[in-house]
Structure 1
Amino acid sequence: MADAPILGGGTLQLDDAVFGVEFNGPLVHQNVRHELNARRQGTSSTKTRGLVSGGGAKPWRQKGTGRARAGSSRSPIWTGGGTVFGPQPRHFTFKVNRKEKRAALRSALSLQALRGSIAGLNVTGYDVPSTKGAVATLAGWDADTGKKGTTLLVLAAGEEQVALSFRNIPKVNVLPADGIGVADVVGARRLLLTEAAVVELVARATGDGSTANTTTATEA
């Protein structure tokens, strides 16, 4: 069973069934596309010649004016006319089944574990919001690993108070364990997880509602 250091002391055990599987690039890519496409609004809209007002009468007679023939002022070649092949409201989503989503999440988490870019967070020190303390915690992690980058802090239900300390720090994203996607995990340089968040992630990635004995923390 893999493990990750807990910032401030201790070790967080990670379930190999979720954090120790082989990376599946095509599956992760498919799920990232699925999630990013679902975030697109798809509300771009243009008017065709059938939607533009006016143009009921022929602008001028067919012959004798010396000008080109014209049947309607709603023609796409006229200023103010309709648009040809312009964007219309649509959705960009496509189906990814549940097993594929779980497998992709396991693959993304395993990649972070393989890189050694996962650490645990002891939430007991954040009963009172303290951005200064959160910055110091991350600075200590930077000093230990020599690496910086976007940090994704994953919290479990009931740990919203911890988010108040980290949410205003640049390059730190705070998300609940039941709300993160494969794109969030892949897009982060490193993951900061609470023990309860790991339990919820294991439950999500395995599809097992029972989260007992999935992780343990060992004090240093």
Structure 2
Amino acid sequence: MPSTTVYNQAGEVVEQLELSERVFGVTPNIAVLHQVVTAQLVNRRQGTASTKTRAEVSGGNRKPYRQKGTGHARQGSTRAPQFRHGGVVHGPRPHAYHHDVPKKMRRLAIRSVLSDKVASESLIVVNDLSLETPRTKDMLTILDKLPTADGKKVLMMLPQRDENVVLSARNIATAKVQHVSSINVVELLKHDYVVMPVQTVRWIELVFGEGLSAEEASRAINNSAEETPAAETAAESSSEE
């Protein structure tokens, strides 16, 4: 079963976390990865590029010169493609770019990338990722203490939006923060390191390992987070007795 080291924000080792083999221990499927990445990049295209043909450009209604006797090739309009301001031949026209990929393939691609991150020690798990106030210097300090190489791109995935973390990282060129529900193959491959709290890991295991929906996984994570303080309080009271 795959496992990874859990750090705190000071870069100290806290514990070893066992990961789901169904999510973080699969053999990467390169063919599926290629199809999903291609589809995702294609679906980002707006498809609004447009050009005008010789029938759509303005002007050119009159024959530019007489048919014979000039020594030039015969022309019927100055809006033919060979003239300046003429129409475009076989130019782009607005159309939809869409490549549909089955849900199972998308999830297999994400599991493949996550498994590769674990195998290459590029997945960094922290017990918590939060800041009391938005400050870029504090975020840089956290990233410096974590085992990330200088100049490498870092993707931080949060279980819920934290405005302080978002504001602290937006001026760092090599760092990006996003919600775990926005997880996608392109962003995972684009960044060298992925930093996520333990709650994010559990959310991913519930969605991509157990097959829960994003809403169900979020509710389960929130419920477990609420039950943990109550259990700790009960344990403390029993130890005092």
TM-score bracket relative to the smaller structure: 0.7 to 0.9
Identity of aligned residues (%): 36
Confirm or deny that 1:10 pairs with 2:40: no
Deviations 1:4-27 (A, max 9, x none): 223324234422211111110111
Q: Return the structure number with greater relative CO, CA threshold 8 A, min gap 6.
A: 1
Confirm or deny that 1:194 pairs with 2:197: yes
Other-structure match for 1:59: 64
Deviations 1:58-90 (A, max 9, x none): 223322333321111211111111011122223
The one-letter amino acid paired with 1:171 is T
Report if the CA contact (8 A) 2:130-2:162 is conserved: no
The one-letter amino acid paired with 1:152 is L
Other-structure match for 1:182: 185
Q: Please, which of 115, 135, 138 is the counterpart of residue 140 of structure 2?
A: 135
Confirm or deny that 1:25 pairs with 2:25: no
For 2:48 and 2:33, locate their aligned partners in 1 and report how far apart those are by CA, in whole Å.
27
For 1:124 and 1:72, locate their aligned partners in 2 and report how far apart those are by CA, in whole Å.
67
Deviations 1:129-181 (A, max 9, x none): 23222212211224xx6675111101122434322232322311111111121
The one-letter amino acid paired with 1:91 is A
Alignment gaps of 5+ in structure 2: 226-241
The one-letter amino acid paired with 1:2 is P
Alignment gaps of 5+ in structure 1: none
Q: Please, which of 158, 170, 175 is the counterpart of residue 172 of structure 1?
A: 175
For 1:69 and 1:97, locate their aligned partners in 2 and report how far apart those are by CA, in whole Å.
56
Other-structure match for 1:40: 45
- Return the offset for 1:32: 1.0
158-167 or 51-60: bigger deviation: 158-167
RMSD: 2.4
Alpha-carbon distance change, 60 to 147 in structure 1, aligned in 2, over 3 angstroms = closer
Alpha-carbon distance change, 128 to 181 in structure 1, aligned in 2, over 3 angstroms = same
For 1:204 and 1:6, locate their aligned partners in 2 and report how far apart those are by CA, in whole Å.
21
